Amino acid sequence: MNIQAYIESGIIESYVLGMADDQERAELEQLSRKHPEIRAAIEAFELSLEQTALQNAMPPAPSIKKDLFVQLESEFNPATEAKLVSMPTAQTGWLRYVAAASVILLVVSAATNVYFYKQFREASNQYQALLVEKTSLLAQNEALQTKGLDLYNGMLIMSDPAFTKISMPGIKTEENKLATVFWDKKKNEVYLLANRLPQTSKDTQYQLWAIVEGKPVDAGMIDTCSGLCKMKNISNASAFAITLEKRGGSPTPNLNQLQVIGNVNG
């Protein structure tokens, strides 16, 4: 298991923020007991959240402190005329003080909770946005790697002497079109390179044909692919051609829509 890749997958952040499901949480807790680096990563993220909270802590409003001192002054002002009070009255005064302090602490606590909740929501939204961006970048990178591999494999085929190259130029009125077939006569494998074939409409599609013993044989529909397109296996072909057919193909070629053609031996 690639521990570093697992740590960077975002599961630790989801776990600490309480967004991991039961299965993910159980798996992480089990792995953290086996791998100290995973436990260290969990503690590091928890510490970073704590430091962020302390750095952005909101102090109580100045009015709260002022109200507290006013309340205390009314209870313990030395200039107030001394009065004989009974124990119950003294207890009542202290109770009022405690009650006032409790209310103030409750207000401060509520304000602090609201502040930290807003900070948590903001951090959570930012984290989710980063996860979406990371997923998008990974998908783009995977697509580029796949395209690069297809191009590399295509270059190997085009340079392989086992493959015969058949150039198919456009017929009259279609001179600007060009396609190339790479055919392995021993393995019967056929690949097509659409050099210059314009985009078709949504209702039409190019179809490759092999001329075998004077008869056209379906060699497959030409679809979007990177580099070389793998077509149907063909044996004993003397020529290849492409027609424009209805989407999905046709059992016989529409010669009125012949686009390009080329002989195997020149």
Same domain? For 120 and 10 the reply is yes
Rounded CA separation 214/238 (Å): 8
Domain boundary among 77, 106, 130: 130
What is the pLDDT at residue 59? 62
Distance from C-alpha of 53 to C-alpha of 219, rounded to nearest angstrom: 66
Could you list the residue range(s) of the whole structural domain that residue 101 is in? 3-130
Instruction: Look up tokens 């740590």; give the residue.
Output: 7
Is 251 contained in some domain?
Answer: yes
Of the pLDDT bands very low, low, confident and very high (cuts 50, 70, 90), residue 87 is very low
CA distances from 238 to 114, 145, 215, 221, 260 (A): 79, 36, 10, 19, 15
The encoded tokens of residue 187 equal 């393995």
Tell me the pLDDT tens digit for each residue of 26-84. Answer: 999 999 999 999 999 899 888 877 776 666 556 666 666 566 566 666 655 555 454 54
Q: Do 107 and 168 have their domain in common?
A: no
Between the alpha carbon of residue 37 and those of residues 4, 5, 160, 186, 223, the distances in Å are 9, 12, 48, 55, 48
153 within some domain: no
Q: How many domains does the chain have?
A: 2
pLDDT band with cut points at 50, 70 and 90 for residue 178: very high
pLDDT at 217: 97
The two three-digit tokens of residue 112, written as one number: 């602090």
Residues 177 and 124 in one domain: no
pLDDT category of residue 192 using cuts at 50, 70 and 90: very high
Mean pLDDT, rounded, for 86-114: 58
118 with 12, same domain: the answer is: yes
Is the confidence at residue 121, as pLDDT, over 70?
Answer: yes
83 and 190, same structural domain? Answer: no
Q: Are residues 119 and 12 in the same domain?
A: yes
Q: Are both 119 and 9 inside the same structural domain? A: yes
Pairing state between β 258-263 and 204-212: unpaired
181 and 121 inside one domain: no
**What is the rounded distance in angstroms from the CA atom of residue 9 to the CA atom of residue 26?**
16
> Which range is least confidently modeled, 2-16, 43-57, 109-123, 136-150?
136-150
pTM over 0.75: no
pLDDT for 184: 96
Comparing CA positions, the residue from 103, 112, 128, 99 lying closest to residue 19 is 128
pLDDT the model gives residue 207: 96
Domain end (from 111, 130, 149):
130
Q: Which pLDDT score, from 0 to 100, does residue 243 have?
A: 96
